[in-house]
Amino acid sequence: MIYDCIVIGSGAAGLTVSFGLKTAGKKILIIERDEPGGECTWNGCIPSKSFISYSKTGIDLKVALEKVREKIFEIARAENSDVIMKKGIDFVKGKAVFISKTEVKVNGEIYSGKNIVIATGSRPYIPKISGLEKVEFLTNENFFKETDNFKSIVMIGGGVISLELSFALKKFGIDVTILELGKRFLPMEDIEVGDFYKEKLSQEGIKLILDCGEIKIEKHGEKTVVKCAEREFETEKLFLSVGRAANLEELDLEKIGIKFDKKGIFVNKYLQTTVKEVYAVGDVVGPYRFSHIAGYHGEIVIRNIIFPYIKKKAEYENISWAIFSNPEFSRVGMSEEEARSKNLRIRVYTLLESENDRSIVSLENQFKLKVICDSKFNILGASCIGERAGEIINLLQLLKSQNLKFYKMVNSVQAYPTYGDSVRKLAKKAYGDYLKEIISFKL
């Protein structure tokens, strides 16, 4: 049988493509080497956000991790192979290898598809560190499988995963140290954001060592000793989070002429690889490695397979994301530094906790919403630090993606005292500037 589409991998990207194409009446085969759900369900978004929630409940680490695993299974139940097959999608468990541009081999069987979608995701990148081979270490793949309490952890890599988990770990009474090679914390965000979280980590008693220099690891009895520059840290657990590697080596991509580099598979704006019948989506492509981008890629490919003559492009100007830290951080579009580096004429609007009634009544002493507009009040980007930053950014994402000028939000009356009303309050500042411009122009 020739399938309309073979999907390799059933994480957020693969499941989106498969379910969408099935709804459109296509004959689909999913090939998955593990359980469906991918990194997000098993080792990523679900366990990490659940872990953060349980860290606020007062239970101990061991119990919290058991509860996290229950949440993983609750989510995984809704996307397991039975659910997939009940929808009429064929499912084969095994590793897929390309045979030709329309054929893949799994467990010795060859399957043919008019289109093939690579949705094989990513895994933790493991750098070369002297002594690492002598110790056991954690990554996001085994951290949530831990079954015992522990007292100390050194996290190598000061990125989003460490920033999210470290506050929660500290709440469980664990001594946390983060070692980061870079001189600047959260270098992709405005400098004030990195500075804010640096200060917050220090207030919570979490050690952050920037510009840590070469790291060496030694085993001293039961303990692991992590050395860098002139310092050393004795720890029970070592956690590595220094980036992601695309899962593409085992697919035999060279054989059929699909190009890639260590960052991921090369795709055009329609998400076709260098072999046009084969698409690639999600983390195995990048540049943004989030579940919602995996889903977005998936939706584009559904559309491009169903309507090949009116293809849709992947666009990234309106991408938003959240860091589920303490408090949350979120952004859509450009940062202020990015906008300034492009020499754009910008207007920057900010709302702080002292001006935000919702922060005041929520006893929230840290809130900063920043919206960057061009000279015509189009939103170039926005960012938020605060309790519900991940939700607040969705409203700005909607305004930006629909090309609504920021001041137009004054036309939408929001319930008081919600964060929606806080965004509107900031939009009123832009409206004031807009009115001033009109008046001065007429005069």
Instruction: Give the binding site for ligand FAD (CB under 6 A).
Output: 8-14, 31-34, 38-40, 43-45, 48-49, 95-96, 119-122, 140, 161, 247, 250-251, 282-283, 289-292, 294, 324
CB of 222 to ligand FAD, least distance (A): 27
- Give the long-range contacts of residues 273-277, CB within 8 A, separation 24 or more: 273/118, 275/101, 277/101, 277/102, 277/114, 277/115, 277/116
Nearer to ligand FAD, 39 or 175 (CB): 39
How many CB atoms neighbour CB 132 within 10 A? 17
How far is Cα of residue 166 from the mean position of the Cα atoms in its chain?
17
Contact 119, 9 (CB under 8 A): yes
Paired strand residues for 374: 346
- 91 CB burial (10 A radius; 0-12, 13-18, 19+): buried
CB of 416 to ligand FAD, least distance (A): 30
Q: Token digits for 281?
A: 């989506």
Contact 189, 159 (CB under 8 A): no
Q: Give the CA-trace dihedral at 11, 13, 17, 18, to 10 degrees.
A: 0
Nearer to ligand FAD, 49 or 405 (CB): 49
d(C-alpha 227, C-alpha 423), whole Å: 46
Nearer to ligand FAD, 3 or 290 (CB): 290
The distance between the two most distant Cα atoms of the chain, rounded to a whole number of Å, is 80
CB of 43 to ligand FAD, least distance (A): 6
CB of 415 to ligand FAD, least distance (A): 27
CB of 434 to ligand FAD, least distance (A): 34
Nearer to ligand FAD, 164 or 175 (CB): 164
Nearer to ligand FAD, 95 or 405 (CB): 95
CB of 298 to ligand FAD, least distance (A): 8
Nearer to ligand FAD, 168 or 217 (CB): 168
Contact 244, 124 (CB under 8 A): yes
d(C-alpha 372, C-alpha 333), whole Å: 9
Nearer to ligand FAD, 8 or 28 (CB): 8
d(C-alpha 122, C-alpha 290), whole Å: 11
Backbone torsions φ then ψ of 129, nearest 5 degrees: -130, 130
CB of 44 to ligand FAD, least distance (A): 3
Measured in Å, how far apart are the chain's first and last C-alpha atoms?
Answer: 74
Nearer to ligand FAD, 111 or 290 (CB): 290
Nearer to ligand FAD, 120 or 224 (CB): 120
Sheet with 379-386: list strands edge to edge: 320-323, 328-333, 379-386, 368-374, 346-352
How many CB atoms neighbour CB 396 within 10 A? 27
Nearer to ligand FAD, 21 or 96 (CB): 96
CB of 265 to ligand FAD, least distance (A): 11
CB of 295 to ligand FAD, least distance (A): 8
CB of 68 to ligand FAD, least distance (A): 12
SS3 state at 198: helix
d(C-alpha 145, C-alpha 125), whole Å: 19
